[in-house]
Structure 1
Amino acid sequence: MTTYSPHTRAVDAPEVAAYWAERRRYLERVRKVPEIRQRFWREVAIYLLRRLLWSFGFFPIFIAFWIPFVLSSFNPVVMAADLIPLLQDFVDSNPEVQATTISTLAIAWASIGFIFLVFDFVLTPFRSPYEYEADVYMRSWEQLNVDQLPDKM
């Protein structure tokens, strides 16, 4: 059993049903508009491209430079002095060791990218232009129909 404080407004079930029925009808109509459909696919492409660039471009590069920079106490001379022997060993090694090192770096890059991609999809979900259009329409619908709806408590 739900109790309401005097300052809480109860929403009647017919009002909620009318709202969602109108929203559903509007979404059915707006999905047929070619301009909005085109905007939807463009925004999907931009969203996916942005997520991929952040996850596989920015974050792995940032981590690859930030961790050695922190370990060198934010001193680029120390960082270079630590990395030059590693690069020289890589160049002097045989092709099998070089291939293993490159594949290890590629696996690390991909794993960091996929981890950030999953978190990025969770933290920044796609916002459909259809939903935006429906939100705007329903705000105006509420304003127009506020006098026709039953009074709230």
Structure 2
Amino acid sequence: MRWKINVLYLTLYLVTGSAMFFSCNMEKKSTNSIIPAYDTDEFKNFYQHFSTDSIFQLEHVVFPLEGVKAPVDSLDIPDPNFRWNQEDWILQREYDDMEGTFSREFIDLHGLVIERISDASGKYSMERRFGKLSAGWHLIYYREMGMY
């Protein structure tokens, strides 16, 4: 009989201890929030520099750059092989919401930062994608402002 009581206490102890261990471990994981790449100081500094320094910008664009040129009209079909070249590159400036006409959102997709800017109607939009390469952050994709 005493043996059964010891087994019962041992089982109860193991179950309680396991529950406490896993609950503490789960609580610890939930308090460790992951900061999106676009919210890091490193990306913010890069983005500010990219938007204000033309030489820095040209050094941080992967040419020929994958992307999409804005359609001329509704019959215009985007070229899937289109690439932006350095010679034709129009420098990107700081974001301006034009007194609320445009809005911007950032998305972190596994360390890839996607920036989307669109007008209030949602008809006109642009997209830029930034990736962190061995030499730091770079623009790796650009879809020109247009009706898509």
TM-score, normalised relative to structure 1: 0.29
Report 1 or 2 for greater relative contact order, CA contacts < 8 Å, sequence distance ≥ 6. Answer: 1
Bigger radius of gyration: 1
Structure richer in helix, relative to its length: 1
